[in-house]
Chains A and B, each alone.
Chain A
Amino acid sequence: MNRMTLTTEGDRHVLVTRRFAASPEMVYRAHTEPELIQQWMLGPEGWTMPVCINEARPGGQIRYEWTDGNGNGFHLTGENVELVPFSRIRHIERMHVPDPTPDNHVETRFEADGDGTIMTMRMTLPDTETRAAMLATGMEHGMEASYVRLEAIAQQTPSRP
């Protein structure tokens, strides 16, 4: 019942829906309050978000920094565009890997569904050319970073806590 769906809309957008067993107010707050965002927006297991800035007002700054605790990390910056408590958030974000990716325009909606909430998130899918350019320009950095990471993994001993 709370299964996530992820579909493409045309060749430029991605639509994600998910139901949560909590009110729109709570789900909205979990998307806008840094101390709550830090608890779940983490990606793979083992990663944390030591820096989380989200100024919940139009034009407000967004900055998330992730780390795996072994010296690897990346960050995201962005701006809030529109916030309608507790139903709608529009924001722009870009990843730094380390060069910034093109702006991703994201719209997140929260609708009451019985005693729960249906969240719908619509984001921009980078186009083919942009992906190719990202790969071509980011290759050296990405490779180096991954190479270092690979090395670290290779040297990791099983007994490491």
Chain B
Amino acid sequence: MRYSSQPSSLQEGDGSEPGASTLEPASGCLTIASRLYNLMVMQSLDTAFFALADPTRRAILARLATGEATVMELAEPFDMSQPAISRHLRVLQHAGLVSRRVEGTKRPCRLQAGALDEVEAWLDMLRKALTHNYDRLDRVLGQMQSAVPATTKAKKKQTATKKDRSSAK
């Protein structure tokens, strides 16, 4: 759904040039872990696995996290040809992690909008986590209220209990 290529085109070294930019915004999350989860759910496990299994591709992502870069710039720190870097980029594009835009004769690469460094995505993650937490807190408070007569006693024991917890670690 995010790309139309056949799974086989994800194999390295199939010889074709990098495909057109994947401009569709990814439903992003800040952390790699949740991004991976999205990849797994929304695309295929194989795609995510393949895109992130390679140390060069992980290094490319780390470099792009600091800003846009051309293929030449990306190739620089590696002992690798530009076509080889282009192949890695194509895999990352297929996985929805990287997009490219046209600027004159250059085609700079960047992290896919929303993929890794999007405030909205970060907030969305936070919102989900907190919503879960506070729904649970509602239940905890309900239990505390049904045990109201014990409240005063519990308060007195508070300090001692905490000490127990700290040392029980």
Interface status of B33 (Cβ within 8 A of chain A):
yes
Residue from the list B45, B52, B117 in contact with A147, Cβ < 8 A: B52
Q: How far is the CA of A100 from the CA of B139 in the complex (A)?
A: 32
Q: Is the beta-carbon distance between A136 and B66 smaller than 8 angstroms?
A: yes
Q: How far is the CA of A112 from the CA of B73 in the complex (A)?
A: 57
Q: Known contacts A22-B145, A136-B66; is A54 also within 8 Å of B162 by CB?
A: yes
Closest A residue, CB atoms, query B46? A154
Residues of B within 8 Å of A16, CB to CB, are 130
Q: Within B55-104, which residues are at the interface with A (CB < 8 Å)? A: 58, 61-63, 65-67
Q: How far is the CA of A5 from the CA of B134 in the complex (A)?
A: 12
Q: How far is the CA of A132 from the CA of B48 in the complex (A)?
A: 22
Residues of A within 8 Å of B142, CB to CB, are 21-22
Interface size of A by CB at 8 A reads 53
Interface status of B169 (Cβ within 8 A of chain A):
yes
Q: Is the beta-carbon distance between A30 and B141 smaller than 8 angstroms?
A: yes
Residues of A within 8 Å of B31, CB to CB, are 97, 142
Q: How far is the CA of A21 from the CA of B67 in the complex (A)?
A: 46
Residues of A within 8 Å of B151, CB to CB, are 26
Q: Within B98-124, which residues are at the interface with A (CB < 8 Å)? A: 116-117, 119, 122-123
Residues of A within 8 Å of B166, CB to CB, are 34, 53, 55, 61
Shortest beta-carbon distance, A128 to chain B, in Å?
A: 7
Residues of B within 8 Å of A132, CB to CB, are 65-67, 117
Q: Known contacts A35-B161, A139-B61, A146-B33; is A30 also within 8 Å of B132 by CB?
A: no
Q: Is the beta-carbon distance between B140 and A39 smaller than 8 angstroms?
A: yes
Per-residue B-contact encoding for A30-67, CB less than 8 Å = 1, 0 else: 10011110011111110000011111100001000000
Interface status of B158 (Cβ within 8 A of chain A):
yes
Q: How far is the CA of A153 from the CA of B33 in the complex (A)?
A: 12
Closest A residue, CB atoms, query B167? A53
Shortest beta-carbon distance, A118 to chain B, in Å?
A: 12
B interface residues with partner A (beta carbon < 8 Å): 30-33, 36, 40, 45, 48-49, 52-53, 58, 61-63, 65-67, 116-117, 119, 122-123, 126-127, 129-134, 136-142, 144-145, 151, 155, 158, 161-162, 165-166, 169
A interface residues with partner B (beta carbon < 8 Å): 2, 4, 6, 8, 11, 14, 16, 18, 20-22, 26-27, 29-30, 33-36, 39-45, 51-56, 61, 97, 125, 128, 131-133, 135-136, 138-140, 142-143, 145-147, 149-150, 153-154
